[in-house]
Structure 1
């Protein structure tokens, strides 16, 4: 309907959306090794904070370096992306499913936030995540198995 101008606007919106999502992934992804090192479960250097910017700069640099190495080893961004998506959604599903465990195990614990639509909404999310994982696995068995191996490689360490 809007022709080339509309296509340009939509493309710019998509690029902005991807940039914002990537920024969130990068900034939150470095926080896990940062906190783990602060708690004494990971290399202590990853717990360093940049004196001026107050960011986990060492963890961000290590994350960037590992991403570059994996990208070079895997050959294409698409393969790397598929590997990451399977692993991320596996943990999203596992994290969301813990609400059922905690609600059953500790029913009287005060909760400052209640999940809207409990138990239906979390259950739908877990089921949808499971379906996504299934179809991702079936569509790309090699990368999905590789993602599982990468996750399992961390078990002996922790």
Structure 2
């Protein structure tokens, strides 16, 4: 009887040690399932489209990247929706031109010789941005530069 009792005590001790050492992060990790709208019309013809879900740090950053590409012209548009969990992700509004989306949200436009971008804070806490460039961002936009109205139209489509 003493032997049996000591076996039960040992098993109980092992169970408690394993339970204490187990990682509960899987139970507390927020879900990665979201429903995002994608645009239905684009400022250039799309020959390829892809979606990437960045889950490298599921407890910290949720990021979804929708890429639209024209193989002939090398035009590439990325729609990036990201959220830093537990914190508010902020981008500098300095040196960016502010516009209003149809729903009244402020959107910020920035342009360089090789790229254009528009970003805004979504109602669900995500930061959304469109980034546009050609030739893998190695050459100036030239004739392929988009109008700001193109970006505003894209943003209004996904609201």
Scaled to the shorter chain, the TM-score interval is under 0.3
Of the two, which has the highest radius of gyration?
2
Query: Higher helix proportion, which one?
Result: 1
- What is the TM-score normalised by the length of structure 2? 0.23
